[in-house]
Amino acid sequence: MAVRTATIQADPELDGIFIAQGAGMRRRVKLERVRNLDVAPTIAHLLDVALPTADGKPMEHVLAGP
């Protein structure tokens, strides 16, 4: 029995939608583009969790001040 695979043309940047609201987030910030690598470090920052080996960085421009 032969197995067929399909190739899906995808965006190599993996564009998606990022929506965040709540404590620690700035209000009414419109983002042009979000790197997927920066999502986990941003959430970790909000939760005060260290991610020393993460490839991305927290999105400081969406985070509220101290």
Span 17-49, pLDDT tens digits: 888 889 999 999 888 888 888 999 999 999 999
Domain that holds residue 49: 16-66
pLDDT-based confidence at 53, cuts 50/70/90?
very high
User: What pLDDT score was predicted for residue 24?
Assistant: 92
Quick one: pLDDT at residue 65? 80
Whole-structure pTM value: 0.72
The H or E element spanning position 39 is helix 39-46
Query: What phi and psi, each to the nearest 5 degrees, are found at residue 25?
Result: -105, 140
Average pLDDT, the chain: 84
Q: How many CA atoms lie within 13 A of 20 on its CB side?
A: 20
Residue 1 lies inside a defined structural domain of this protein? no
In a domain, 29, yes or no: yes
| Structural domain includes residue 38 | yes
The 10 Å Cβ neighbour count of residue 37 is 12
